[in-house]
Structure formats: C-alpha cells, structure tokens
C-alpha cells in the first residue's frame, strides 16, 4: 500500500527532531494572499531602506511554486540559538544569533542531511533547501505550518520557546499533510514597541528598517546618521532589545548546538578590547561568524559611532 501524506510527514518531522531542530511544521505550497498586500505596501513606503534586493523576485517571494516548479509542500524547521553564556555587559553588544558559527552553514548542513533521509526513506523527491538566502518569506511559512505567530516586533513567536531561533525551509514536490496555524498570543502587550530606542516598530508587525539598529549596524553600507546619536544602546552588531523584553522569551532555554557556542576570547573581551580591536583579532574571534558580514571596516564604523555618540 502506498504510504499516505501523514506517514511521510511524521517521518520527516521525526528525523528533523533527531537532527537537532527544535520543531518542524508543514504547510501546503501556494500563494501567500495575506502577505502580498503587506509586502507591497512595505516596499512602496521604502521601509526596506538600502535592501534593494527585497524588491526583486516579488512573485517568487509570494509563491514557492514559481520559485521551485511543481512544489507541493513547504517544510519549515526551527533551530534554537539562545546562548547559556553571555558577553560582558559593558562591552559593545553582539546579537545573540551571531555568537557562534554562521547559521546559514549550520542549518544548510542539517537540511542536507534531512534531504538525504528523504531520498533514502521516501524516494526521489525534487526540491530545494533555503536558509534566509533566497526570496522565501520564512516567517510566513513557519506561521502557516503552526510553528508560531507573528509578534508585534514582526518576528515569529512560539509558546514555551519565545523567539530566539532560526528558521529554515525545504520546498518539495511531495504531498505532505499540512499542519494547522496557531493563534496570536501577544494580546494587548506592547513591550517590544515601547522598548525600541529608535522607534523602528511603527505599528504592530510593521518595522521601518531605516530606523532599526540591526539594519543600521549590518545592512546599511553608508555612515550611520547622526540622528541616531545616543540611541544605539551599546549595540555594535544587530540588536536584541525587542526580543529581550518580550515576556514569551522567559521560556527560552539554552541551545544544544556545539557550533553555536561562543569562543571564550569573545566572552572575555571588555569595552577597551573591542574599541582597540585589530583586523587580526576580528578575523580570529569571528572566524566563520555572521559578524564577518559587516567586514572589519563596517564593524569599526559601528564601534566608532558608539564611541563618538553614546553616553553609556
């Protein structure tokens, strides 16, 4: 008897958990009707800043069947990155997701193993794996797959886990049993909106990247505008403020992925060490890290801006 979609789904989910993913959900590939007008308006308002690549492949971004021909299902996975050890509080802060090795590489390796499992145990299945590197709206698909809801800060939130995790997808030409979406559990809470020092969250689920500290320290290629003086809250790469204040993140538990463990020299560096960092130290401390995305010059720009403008 030919296995049913549910049996395939159960197989894939069990293997995803074995590989270390914290959860796995499935949705039917199709057009993202709810997200289409929101994305169009966000782009028209220029809220994407210098990220011009967000304007490309609009149709593919909203329909995986265009991105991956004959696709029928989207498998979404979450991988915890919440660290047990934190860096010095007086040091310029690095977003927790960048403490260890670059998540793109770590998750892609796991998805490659998951794909090999599918080929071996289910049969020849065509598809592609994605980790924040193609026109795929990962939060929308994870929401559809029942892995969480979109918080007011625009990030995915999960009961019992919070939001300190990465999202990855596999878009497959395989019929699987889809999961049901969950409900919103933010209620009247506005802590993320209230805590943002640059007022980047201009409405629930609506972020103006031009004001976001993560954007300013990573995506922005020009100089950080002086209008953000004394608003950066000591962040040198990324920002976790809206996540740190979220009540749901009190449920965050330390990850168990060795590749996400921070180097001891990173944890021990104080403010003076950071402000005097050399190219060699930068390359050593952030070897295989997402922080290298800014390059040494971009990281120095961020540190200089903090040193010049912040009073903290």
Q: How confident is the model at residue 133 (pLDDT cuts 50, 70, 90)?
A: confident
Q: How confident is the model at residue 142 (pLDDT cuts 50, 70, 90)?
A: very high
Residues 164 and 202 in one domain: no
What's 107's domain CATH number? 3.40.109
The per-residue pLDDT for range 144-159, each reduced to its tens digit, is 999 999 999 999 999 9
Domain boundary among 115, 140, 172: 172
Domain enclosing residue 167, as ranges: 5-86+98-172
Evaluate whether residue 106 is within a structural domain: yes
CA distances from 110 to 20, 50, 122, 131 (A): 8, 31, 18, 11
| Residue 3 pLDDT | 62
The per-residue pLDDT for range 249-297, each reduced to its tens digit, is 999 999 999 999 999 999 999 999 999 999 999 999 999 999 999 999 9
Answer whether residue 309 shows pLDDT above 80: no
Residues 60 and 132 in one domain: yes
Strand-pairing partners, residue 23, are 78
What is the C-alpha separation between 199 and 211, in angstroms, rounded?
7
Residue whose structure tokens are 């709206």: 137
Domain boundary among 144, 172, 200: 172
Q: Number of folded domains in the chain?
A: 2
| pLDDT over 90, % of the chain | 95
List the beta strands (DSSP E) in the chain: 23-28, 73-80, 93-94, 127-130, 149-150, 156-157, 165-172, 201-203, 206-207, 235-237
Answer whether residue 312 shows pLDDT above 50: no
| Residue 174 pLDDT | 96
The per-residue pLDDT for range 29-60, each reduced to its tens digit, is 999 999 999 999 999 999 999 999 999 999 99
Query: Mean pLDDT, to the nearest integer, of 17-27?
Result: 98
Evaluate whether residue 217 is within a structural domain: yes
Residues 48 and 104 in one domain: yes
Evaluate whether residue 42 is within a structural domain: yes
> Does residue 132 carry a catalytic annotation?
yes
Q: What integer best gives the mean pLDDT of the chain? A: 95
Query: Alpha carbon 28 to chain centroid distance?
Result: 22
Residues 152 and 195 in one domain: no
Nearest to 103 by CA among 79, 129, 83: 79
Residues 32 and 146 in one domain: yes
Query: Mean pLDDT, to the nearest integer, of 196-203?
Result: 98
Evaluate whether residue 21 is within a structural domain: yes
The per-residue pLDDT for range 67-94, each reduced to its tens digit, is 999 999 999 999 999 999 999 989 999 9
Please state the pTM of the whole predicted model: 0.95
Evaluate whether residue 45 is within a structural domain: yes
The residue from 132, 175, 244, 310 that is catalytic is 132
| Residue 67 pLDDT | 93
| Residue 2 pLDDT | 58
Evaluate whether residue 182 is within a structural domain: no
């Amino acid at each position: 008897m030919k296995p049913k979609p549910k049996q395939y789904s159960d197989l894939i989910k069990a293997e995803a958990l074995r590989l270390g993913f914290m959860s796995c959900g499935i949705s039917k590939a199709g057009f993202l009707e709810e997200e289409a007008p929101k994305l169009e308006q966000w782009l028209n308002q220029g809220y994407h800043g210098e990220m011009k690549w967000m304007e490309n492949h609009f149709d593919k971004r909203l329909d995986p069947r265009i991105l991956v021909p004959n696709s029928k299902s989207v498998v979404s996975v979450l991988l915890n990155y919440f660290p047990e050890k934190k860096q010095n509080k007086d040091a310029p802060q690095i977003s927790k997701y960048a403490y260890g090795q670059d998540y793109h590489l770590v998750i892609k390796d796991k998805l490659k193993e998951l794909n090999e499992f599918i080929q071996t145990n289910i049969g020849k299945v065509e598809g592609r794996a994605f980790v924040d590197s193609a026109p795929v709206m990962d939060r929308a698909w994870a929401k559809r797959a029942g892995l969480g809801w979109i918080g007011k800060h625009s990030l995915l939130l999960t009961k019992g886990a919070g939001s300190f995790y990465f999202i990855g997808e596999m878009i497959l030409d395989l019929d699987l049993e889809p999961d049901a979406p969950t409900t919103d559990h933010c209620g009247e809470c506005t802590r993320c909106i209230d805590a943002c020092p640059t007022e980047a969250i201009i409405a629930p689920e609506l972020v103006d990247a031009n004001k976001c500290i993560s954007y300013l320290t990573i995506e922005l290629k020009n100089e950080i505008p002086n209008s953000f003086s004394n608003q950066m809250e000591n962040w040198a790469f990324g920002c976790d403020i809206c996540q740190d204040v979220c009540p749901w993140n009190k449920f965050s538990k330390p990850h168990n992925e060795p590749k996400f463990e921070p180097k001891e020299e990173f944890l021990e560096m104080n403010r003076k060490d950071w402000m005097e960092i050399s190219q060699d130290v930068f390359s050593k401390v952030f070897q295989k890290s997402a922080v290298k995305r800014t390059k040494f010059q971009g990281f120095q720009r961020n540190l200089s801006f903090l040193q010049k403008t912040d009073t903290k």
